[in-house]
Amino acid sequence: MKKVVIIGAGPAGLSCAYKLLSNNKNIEVIVLEEDSQVGGISKTINYKGNRMDVGGHRFFTKNEEVKKFWLKILPLQGKKAYDDILLELDKSLKKGGPDPEKEDRVMLVRNRVSRIYYNKKFFDYPVNLNFKTLKNMGLVTSINCGFSYIKSSLFKLEETSLENFYINSFGKKLYSMFFKEYTTKVWGREPKDIDPSWGSQRAKGISIRKVISDYFHRLFKIKNKNKAKSLIEEFLYPKYGPGELYEYVAEEIEKMGGKIYLNSKVTKINNENNKIKSISYMNNNKKIDINCDIVVSSMPMKDLVNDMNKIPKNIKDISNNLPYRDFITIGVLVDKLNLKPHKTIKTIHGSISDNWIYVQDPSVTMGRVQIFNNWSPYMVKSPKDTIWMGLEYFCSEGDSFWNKSDKELTKLAAEELKRMGFIKDKIIDSYVYRVKKAYPAYFDSYSEIDKLREYLNDYENLYCIGRNGTHSYNNMDHSIYSGFVCADMIKKNNHDLDKLWNINVDSSYQEEK
């Protein structure tokens, strides 16, 4: 019986374990997770009955295998959710599906509303061609944006940086308004210093041309088969946030005989002759050694290499200089927001209906705002009477911002919310949560990552999956899919790791059916 050790109980690690154990009793699967709960960056934090989605995870994919997996674990709602009932909204319901008012194991259908906050005004995200956008920008700025885009269309820049990628897609004026500041906040670097592959992964298929096309398709009610993924207007979402899905997946893994060890930090990868022999991890201050036939790693590549033996200096240097960005989410509970609600999309709390707001404005350090009431009413203890938000601040572990006390961070959050005009009164309660290595970054030694991947390819029983495992800024569905692909490879004794490195690299991947 093969023993497979999976490092990390996030979307990639759990999906790999789940598929390995499905209809396969001749395999032993052990999952080691450093944290006290499963889900990785997709976990749900429960603070006094108010839940936080760490990072914001909409469940949308064009990968049918991933979608079937989601709906097998959490069946699609068959009855209206709490807010749909109160607002008397029509909803696409699955006949015979669970009632979210009575059952917890249910997937909701939610409206996607995202906007950009810039210059104390709100703009649709992605940038939409409508009267409100033109009005907010003003005539002169709108004309400048138009000529700027025409210029970028006629004189394409060589895409040697993320800045050039955005300018080619939107024009220099729109880039400076809606992309430069937010991107700099996220990465701590200006877009001109970032590899363009990040843009091709996160915004592929999105451009002014696509925005215009999408606008006219909607205006004349023409079905748009090639609608880009960031233009999707509806998504699935677990009743209690993304972490709920992974908690149920973990239960299913254990039912099939898999073992999941929480609070288990891997400290040593014992490799010899291009093979991993065993893994050492700490649990309750006790070192434990475990032999393995196969290792599947979703831990950061930097940590993986640092835990291995006798690594060549050039490979060690590349891994040690792989960059990451960390962030802090501040949960903020308030009575109400000092913002005008949408005219067409109502909410039970009487305020705006956004899921998230990208803060492009340079006057504040805040990067993004989530309103958890609008993701799911069940995320909030009192969804009618209070508003529960997640304010995201991007930083690096150990820097001055990361080291601020919770009290300092909460004070800053309140000040910035007031400066932006979001609130007038004091906040009711707050919770600070720090996330390490949230985003694998595309600068520094990333330009040499192929050398690192080629080196790891030579380890005959090692597979790397997921966002941090491959150092690719993947969406959640890509991470799950990488787990599925890896499980299939293990079952077939296939060790072509290029299949894992290249998930979400092809520009057509999941963008068209």
pLDDT reading at 274 higher than 60: yes
What does DSSP assign to residue 290? E
Q: By mean pLDDT, which of 93-102, 189-198, 278-287 is the weakest?
A: 189-198
Q: Is 379 helix (H, G, I), strand (E, B) or coil?
A: helix
Predicted local distance difference test score (pLDDT) of residue 453: 97
Q: What would the DSSP string read from start to end of 443-504?
A: SGGGGGHHHHHHHHHT-TTEEE-HHHHHT----HHHHHHHHHHHHHHHHTT---THHHHTTT
All domains of the chain in start order, with CATH: 2-38+245-322+444-501 (3.50.50.60), 128-229 (no CATH), 324-440 (3.90.660.20)
What whole-number distance in Å separates Cα of residue 60 and Cα of residue 107? 12
Banded pLDDT at 162 (limits 50, 70, 90): very high
pLDDT digits (tens, 9 = 90+) for 422-462: 999 899 999 999 999 999 999 999 999 999 999 999 999 99
Q: What is the pTM of this model?
A: 0.91
Task: Label residues 2-16 b or e (16+ Cβ within 10 Å = b).
Answer: bebbbbbbbbbbbbb
What does DSSP assign to residue 430? E
Banded pLDDT at 220 (limits 50, 70, 90): very low
* Number of Cβ atoms within 10 Å of the Cβ of 508: 8
pLDDT reading at 197 higher than 80: no
pLDDT reading at 175 higher than 60: yes
* Number of Cβ atoms within 10 Å of the Cβ of 83: 21
* Number of Cβ atoms within 10 Å of the Cβ of 140: 8
For residues 323-333, give the mean pLDDT: 97
What whole-number distance in Å separates Cα of residue 335 and Cα of residue 332? 10
Question: Which residue in 53, 63, 54 sits closest to 108, CA to CA?
Answer: 53
CA count, 13 A, side-chain hemisphere, 127 = 25
Structure-model confidence comparison of residues 365 and 130, the more confident one: 365
Residue spans of alpha helices (H) in 88-138: 131-137
Question: Which residue in 409, 433, 203 sits closest to 329, CA to CA?
Answer: 433
Give 3-state DSSP helix, strand, coil % of the chain, rounded to 5. Answer: 35, 20, 40
CB 508 within 8 A of CB 477: no
Q: By mean pLDDT, which of 9-13, 64-68, 215-219, 405-409 is the weakest?
A: 215-219
∠ CA 349-336-417, nearest 5°, is 130
pLDDT digits (tens, 9 = 90+) for 372-420: 999 999 999 999 999 999 999 999 999 999 999 999 999 999 999 999 9
pLDDT digits (tens, 9 = 90+) for 50-99: 999 998 899 999 899 999 999 999 999 999 999 999 999 888 899 999 99
Query: Would the CA dihedral through 419, 422, 428, 429 be positive or negative?
Result: negative
Structure tokens at 127: 């940038």
Predicted local distance difference test score (pLDDT) of residue 146: 86
Banded pLDDT at 204 (limits 50, 70, 90): low
pLDDT digits (tens, 9 = 90+) for 98-146: 999 999 999 999 999 999 999 889 988 877 667 788 888 888 988 888 8
Structure tokens at 126: 């992605």
pLDDT reading at 39 higher than 70: yes
CA dist list (Å): 331 to 359, 397, 458 = 16, 19, 44
Predicted local distance difference test score (pLDDT) of residue 216: 43
Residues whose CB is less than 8 angstroms from the CB of residue 337 and which lie 6 or more positions away in sequence, other chains included: 351, 352, 387, 422, 423
What whole-number distance in Å separates Cα of residue 303 and Cα of residue 290? 18
Structure-model confidence comparison of residues 245 and 504, the more confident one: 245
List 333's β-bridge partners, or say none.
Answer: 388, 429
pLDDT reading at 166 higher than 60: yes
pLDDT digits (tens, 9 = 90+) for 223-235: 555 544 445 688 9
What whole-number distance in Å separates Cα of residue 428 and Cα of residue 372? 16
Residue 259 phi, psi dihedral angles, 5° rounding: -120, 135
Question: Which residue in 156, 251, 277, 260 sits closest to 209, CA to CA?
Answer: 156
Structure-model confidence comparison of residues 269 and 345, the more confident one: 269
Predicted local distance difference test score (pLDDT) of residue 382: 98
What whole-number distance in Å separates Cα of residue 481 and Cα of residue 504? 10
Structure-model confidence comparison of residues 495 and 131, the more confident one: 495
pLDDT reading at 511 higher than 60: no
- How close are the terminal C-alpha atoms of the chain, in Å? 39
What whole-number distance in Å separates Cα of residue 448 and Cα of residue 471? 12
pLDDT reading at 337 higher than 60: yes
